[in-house]
Each structure stands twice: as structure tokens, then as C-alpha cells.
Structure 1
Amino acid sequence: MKRVNKSNGRQGGWLFVFFILAICSFSLTAQQGVEKQNRLRETDQAFFQTEEARRIGDQLLLYQRATGGWPKNIDMTRELSEEEREQLLKEQGRRDDSTIDNNATTMQMIYLARLYQQTGEARYREAFRRGVEYLLSGQYANGGWPQFWPETRGYQVAITYNDDAIVNILFLFRDMMSGQSPYDGDLFDEALLQRLSDSFDRGIACILKTQIVVAGEPTIWCQQHDRETLLPTSARSYELPSYCSQESAAIVDLLMSLPHPDTSVKKAIIGAMKWFDTYKLTGMRYERGVMIDGERTVRLVEDPEAGPIWARFYDLEKVEPFVCDRDGIPRKHLEEIGSERRNGYSWYNSRPTRLYPLYENWRKQYE
């Protein structure tokens, strides 16, 4: 019989405990990181009365560019070192990274509005107003907005619905015009309110003008439209001119929130909902994070119990779903594109589903 080495057993036990504690510590740290990131979406009034809320607000002022906008994809809630603060001050004059992509600028503005409401500290109000001026300055004469400005590169000049960029601006302007919290008080004056109203109306007009119309019938939108022709256009190599369900759902949500919609708005909503209903995919489920042959991936599987989903992209000619890799070649199946894009992009979504109950109520009121 083989003798058990008790010393090694104890050592292995300690290693096991250490391993478990390390995992728990990592999970807790990751969770705390997510919570800090989400602080910019905080709505609790009590939080905005805390020193932590002010600390984050002051950091947002450091990240704000002289343009009035903010860059994207940065955890602006993480506590900064003195060296980082000095570097941010040096970067405030940048003109090439202010954007409305990935919720940038509008998210920081909403936070600052809530913080000003609770503190009354003028620096937050002034930063918010600079953000408003930035948004107003970027609007094209046709009512659309680019993705970045004042300096843009390549596809960034297109009218950008991708990731709800323009919709986020218009929802913010709508809420400001309503005077609802936190946009009450002296956050802005009547003169600015009129400019917001004019900008909002032009933004809605642009949405209606860019809606893809086929045989006289309005359908949905592309993720981006040419700023001159207003036609669907490409962005990154895998984002081709197409019908785009995900962003179009947000646009319809915005349109249905308009009080007293005119005939053109009604027609746009009805046409888009008809399109969603016609091209929904049933009996299929979009799975993320599944392990196949040792690789974490995504896939479509048959599921008769699954609710409807939509491809993110449908081609403009046959209205058929497609996916695409960085080579710019549309393909029918997820398995036909590389792992990097297959796992790094949202190819299917259920976003239009939440429109249906809203649409039923809207029809009762306005049809």
C-alpha cells in the first residue's frame, strides 16, 4: 500500500484554499469594476449627495475636451493618479476623439445634470452646457450627426445611427425640453431651450428622410447613411449598407414617444413595424459563450420555443440575413466567419420584441 504524505496533503489543501480565495477575490474585483463603471448611469438622488459622486464628477470635467465632448471607452470613474490628471489636462485640447459613439458625451452629460441638481455647484452646470453646445455644433444642415467631430476620419462623417448615437442625443433633448428631473431648475435657459427644439425637429426630419423606402413603402434604416445622398452606406469593413434591425428598433422607440405625431411619423412607424414582423426569425435561438471543440463561441440553434429574433443585417436586394468578416464579404452563416468577428460583434438580437406592446398602445391612441 502506498503511504500518504501528510505534509504534502496539507500543502495541497492550503494551495486549494488559496486558489479558491484568489478566484473569489478576482470575481469581487471584477464585480466592483462593473459597479464603478455603472456609476455613470446612477439615478439614486442620495448617491449624488456623496463625496464619491463629486469625485467622479470632477474627473468627468478633466476628461471633457475643449470641444465640449468626451472620448469613448474609458472608465472615467476609476480614481486618477496625479500624473494621470496632469496628462488629461494636456489632452483637453484634442479635437479628434470627441464622440457620441458608445454612449459617450450623452452619458457624461446626464450624470452631470443629476449631480448639479443635488449639489448646485456651478462647475457641473457649465460642463453640462458645454456638452449641449458640442452636440448642437455637430448637427448637419440635414439634421443628422456624424460619429465624431470636429475632426473626423473616413466613415465617421456618415449620419450615424449605430449604437444609438443619434437616438441618444434626441432622447436627451426630448427629456430636457420636457423639463423633467434632472432638467428642471436653472440648468439651462429659454434661449437654449428654443435651440434644442429646433435641433430636435431637424433630427426627426432627418430620420424620416433616411428611412429606406421600397416601392413607396417605408421600411427601416441602415446603421449609417451618407451625409450627402442620405442613402445607406458602409462603415467598418464588416458593416455594409443594409437593413439594420437593432438600431432601427431604437429609432422606432423614439418615434413612438413623440406626442401628436403627424402623418409622416405615423407612416414611418407603421412601415417599420410591418417590416419587423415580416422579417423576424422564429424557431431559432442565439447562444453566446458556448464551448465547441474547446473554443468559446456563439451559434444559432433550432428552438421551437424561442421567441422571435432578428439578424442585425439584411441585404438590401433580397432582404436576407447575413454576417460579415473583416474581409467585407457577406456570408449566410456564423460558422463562415472567423472567431474574432463571430464572437466580437452582436449578429442577432431580440430588440424589436419590446416594441410590440408599445406599438399596440400607440395604435390605440393614434391610428
Structure 2
Amino acid sequence: MIHLLRCSTLVLASLVVCGASSTCNAQPRFHRNLLRNDTEWFRSEEAKAIADSVLEYQSPQGGWPKSTDLSKSPRTPDDIPQPGSGRANSLDNEATTLPLRFLARAVNATGEAKYRDAFEHGIEYLLNAQYPTGGWPQFWPLRDGYYSRITFNDGAMIRAMTVLRDVAKGEPPYDFVDGELRSRAAAAVERGVDCILAAQIEQNGNLTAWCAQYDEETLKPAWGRAYEPPSLSGDESVDIVRFLMSIEEPRPEIIAAIEGATEWFRKVAIHGYRFEEFEDENGERDRRIVADAEAPPLWARFYELVTNRPLFLGRDSVYRYEVVEIELERRAKYDYYGDWAQDLLAEHYSAWSSRHDVASSGGPDGGGI
């Protein structure tokens, strides 16, 4: 009874930890929580069926589509997003990087050559998609529009670099990767780090944070969607800093980038407010900023490049400085505020500075608006 209840709860939560010995009959979705399963599960028929399905969705270029349940084998060729479509060959929403992580586990558990070949083809995709300036687009082969900008938005570039970094290290489950491919992955990561350092925005000579998108040639902040302006990101910049903190032997430029960004996060932290969801008089979901002296610090999704003022845009692309001025549809569905940097400042920075003998410059309440 307990086992069945646990299984039902996990399925409802889209978590897949019903392993080889489980009696669950629900079809698991392709989700990062599959990676929580142990090696025994990756040897199971259920896991191999999912891995075989993942192979079917891989494009000729080596990438995978976004917003697609890769655990369900396509019934017809039309179920597979084709190159040039709106979903194929993407790094958005964990496309390509999550399948690679899953296949690495499958290779590690089973040793099957078909999984290894697909994995290596996927790594070649990541290497081919990298711009000469070191960044990665949201889609490759390239699509017209903001999709071809260097994309930190939603973690796209950092996820690509994380997979390549782990491949370069050659530790399980990536210990099957040969030395030549590992070396190329390491070189790509180095170029990516150089891109990150070059793209960090300065204000009056002080290093701050990053924009969510950049021009792939000039490395200047660029537009994303209509409501995503060239700006300093209070969200995406956190993942960038965490990646830089993961570098085992950071050179002085990396240390300076981390110090500059964490100081900027302290400076622009918003104290005394919370961003809450409520139901308006028409019964519709809405969100608002509310004064609350006990609330933990918040950060805006966008900060104006020069002034550091929180910035809010709707689908009309008009710059505004109050979230209430944005149309309901965007205000209710888009995260204009979040607690993104709280753990970075309260925990990660302290641990990193201790490891590298860097004098801490404060905690999450070291400054703010």
C-alpha cells in the first residue's frame, strides 16, 4: 500500500523514480528527475526503452527538440520535429543537454554502442554550435531572430558548458569518452569562459552582471523577446556566477568577475517587499509587489543598464518602472521578481571564498535598494 501511494505521488509530480523493480504502470515523462534513478534502473528494460526513444528524436545534426516528451516513441515520422521547425535542434528548456546527460548514464550502465554513438554525435552538435566568440545560440543550425543571439536566458549556454565541462573531466558517468573528444570539450569550455568574461557589463569601471542575450559578434547586450530588453539580469546572472565558482583553479580574471557580480547583487537587492500571487476581482490570477519588512531580499529580472533601476516590459516593449503597469497576461505568467541570488550570496559565495582564500565582502544583506 505504501509503495503504491509513493508511486502514484511521484507520477503526479512528474517524477520518475519507479525503477526496474517497481510495479508502476504509468508512462514516465522525460524529465531531469529520471537522472535520480540508480545504475540498476538504467540497466532496466524501462530505461533502455526510454533511451531507444531518445535516439529516435535525435536530429541529423545531433541535437534534440525542445518541449517534446522524448520518453514516448514517435508513432509516425511527423511526431519528430524536423530541422528548421520551431522546436528542433535547440538548447532551450534543457533540450539536447538533458538527453545527453541521460544517454551518458545509459552508456555508463549498459556499455551499448548505440547510446555511445548518439552521445558522441550530440557532443559534436554542441561543439559545432559554438560561435567563434565563444557563446552558444538558442538554436543551431541558426534561426532568424533572437534565437540566434548568444543565449544565457533560461540557462541555455550554461547548461551546454556544464555538460562539456563534465565530459572534459572524464569522471563517471562520462569516463567512457575518449581523450580527443574530452580535449575538444575542454577547449570549448575555455572559449565559453572567455566569452562570459568579455560579456560582463561594467559600470564606471566596476564589473557587474550579465544580460540574458548578446550579439554573437559584438558581445553587446541584445534583445530577446519583446519583453526581454538589453539589461542586467537578476536571474540568469546567478547561474553564470555559479558556473564560474565551479572552476577548480580560477585565474584572477574569473575571481574578479565573481567578486564584481556578487557585489552587484548585494547592491541591487530589494528589501522590505515580497512578490505575491493573488486573485483579482474578476477571479483571475494576478501578482503584485507588497511591502513586507520580514520578507527575504528580492531581485528584479531586469535592471536598466546604466541606472540599475528595476525594469518592466510587456509585449509592447515599452520601458516601465512598476510591475503593476504591465499587462495582466505577462504580470501573471512571467517572473519579473525572484529570490534568485539569495542562496548564492548566503551560502555559495561563502563556501567559494573559503576554498579560494578570498576575503568575503559581506552577506545577502550587505546593501540594496
**Shorter-chain-normalised TM-score: which range?**
0.7 to 0.9
Q: In the aligned structure 2, how far is the partner of 1:85 from the partner of 1:157? A: 30
TM-score if structure 2 supplies the norm length?
Answer: 0.86
Alignment of 1:151-230 (within 5 A): 151-184=142-175, 186=176, 188-230=177-219
Q: In the aligned structure 2, how far is the partner of 1:201 from the partner of 1:352? A: 25
- Residue 329 of structure 1: SS of its match in structure 2? coil
Alignment of 1:22-37 (within 5 A): 31=12, 33=14, 35=16, 36-37=28-29
Matching residue within 49, 53, 59 for 1:55: 49
Cα displacement (A) at 1:151: 3.0
Q: In the aligned structure 2, how far is the partner of 1:180 from the partner of 1:34? A: 26
Conservation of the 8 A alpha-carbon contact between 1:312 and 1:349: yes
Matching residue within 107, 110, 113 for 2:101: 110
Q: In the aligned structure 2, how far is the partner of 1:85 from the partner of 1:57? A: 18
For 1:291, the aligned partner's letter is E
Matched, 1:273 2:262: yes
TM-score if structure 1 supplies the norm length?
Answer: 0.86
Report the counterpart of residue 24 of structure 2 in structure 1: none
Matching residue within 313, 333, 343 for 2:332: 343
Cα displacement (A) at 1:130: 0.8
Q: In the aligned structure 1, how far is the partner of 2:193 from the partner of 2:249? A: 13
Alignment of 1:1-367 (within 5 A): 31=12, 33=14, 35=16, 36-37=28-29, 39-42=31-34, 43-45=36-38, 46-77=40-71, 79-80=72-73, 84-88=75-79, 94=84, 97-184=88-175, 186=176, 188-288=177-277, 290-293=278-281, 294-356=283-345, 357-366=347-356, 367=358
Structure 1: 5+ residue stretches without partners: 1-26
Conservation of the 8 A alpha-carbon contact between 2:170 and 2:182: no
For 1:123, the aligned partner's letter is K
Structure 2: 5+ residue stretches without partners: 1-7, 17-27, 359-369
For 1:41, the aligned partner's letter is N
Cα displacement (A) at 1:272: 0.2
Conservation of the 8 A alpha-carbon contact between 1:310 and 1:350: yes
Deviations 1:26-55 (A, max 9, x none): x97981656533644322223212211111
Conservation of the 8 A alpha-carbon contact between 2:272 and 2:295: yes
Cα displacement (A) at 1:350: 1.0
Deviations 1:76-99 (A, max 9, x none): 22x346xx243346x555576211
Q: In the aligned structure 2, how far is the partner of 1:68 from the partner of 1:88? A: 17
Q: Structure 1 stretch 33-42 or stretch 137-146: which is displaced more?
A: 33-42
For 2:253, the aligned partner's letter is S
Percent of matched pairs sharing the same residue: 40
Q: In the aligned structure 2, how far is the partner of 1:92 from the partner of 1:164? A: 24
Conservation of the 8 A alpha-carbon contact between 1:67 and 1:95: no
Larger-gyration structure (1/2): 1
Deviations 1:105-126 (A, max 9, x none): 0011001111111122111111
Conservation of the 8 A alpha-carbon contact between 2:15 and 2:33: no
Q: In the aligned structure 2, how far is the partner of 1:142 from the partner of 1:255? A: 18
In terms of fraction of residues, the more helix-rich structure is 1
Cα displacement (A) at 1:179: 2.3
